[in-house]
C-alpha cells in the first residue's frame, strides 16, 4: 500500500472519529488545524487505525501525535 493510499484510508478514519464527513486532510494536517482533534480523539484515531491496518502501535509513541504525517510514519 502506498503512502497516498494510507493517507486516504486515514482520512476516512479522521472523518468518522471527528464526525466531519467532508474533511480533507493532508500530511501536514495537525491538531492546530482542527480543535476537535483532542486527546480523546487521538486515542480513538489510534484505535481505529490499528484496527484498519491490523497493527499495534506503542501508546508512548502515539501519545504525542500532533500531525497526520507522524501517524503515516508509524504505518511505514
Give pLDDT tens digits for 2-22: 999 999 999 999 999 999 999
pTM of this prediction exceeds 0.75: yes
User: In the predicted model, what is the mean pLDDT of residues 55-59?
Assistant: 89
The CATH architecture that domain 3-75 belongs to is: Orthogonal Bundle (1.10)
pLDDT at 59 over 90: no
Cβ pair 65, 46 in contact under 8 A = yes
Cell of 59: 501508546
pLDDT at 34 over 90: yes
Residues forming beta bridges with residue 67, ordered by sequence position? 30
Cβ pair 61, 74 in contact under 8 A = yes
Amino acid at each position: 500500500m502506498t503512502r497516498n493510499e494510507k493517507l486516504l484510508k486515514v482520512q476516512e478514519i479522521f472523518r468518522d472519529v471527528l464526525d466531519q464527513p467532508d474533511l480533507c486532510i493532508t500530511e501536514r494536517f495537525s491538531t492546530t488545524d482542527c480543535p476537535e482533534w483532542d486527546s480523546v480523539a487521538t486515542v480513538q484515531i489510534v484505535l481505529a487505525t490499528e484496527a484498519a491496518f491490523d497493527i499495534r502501535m506503542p501508546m508512548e509513541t502515539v501519545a504525542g501525535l500532533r500531525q497526520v504525517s507522524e501517524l503515516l510514519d508509524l504505518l511505514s
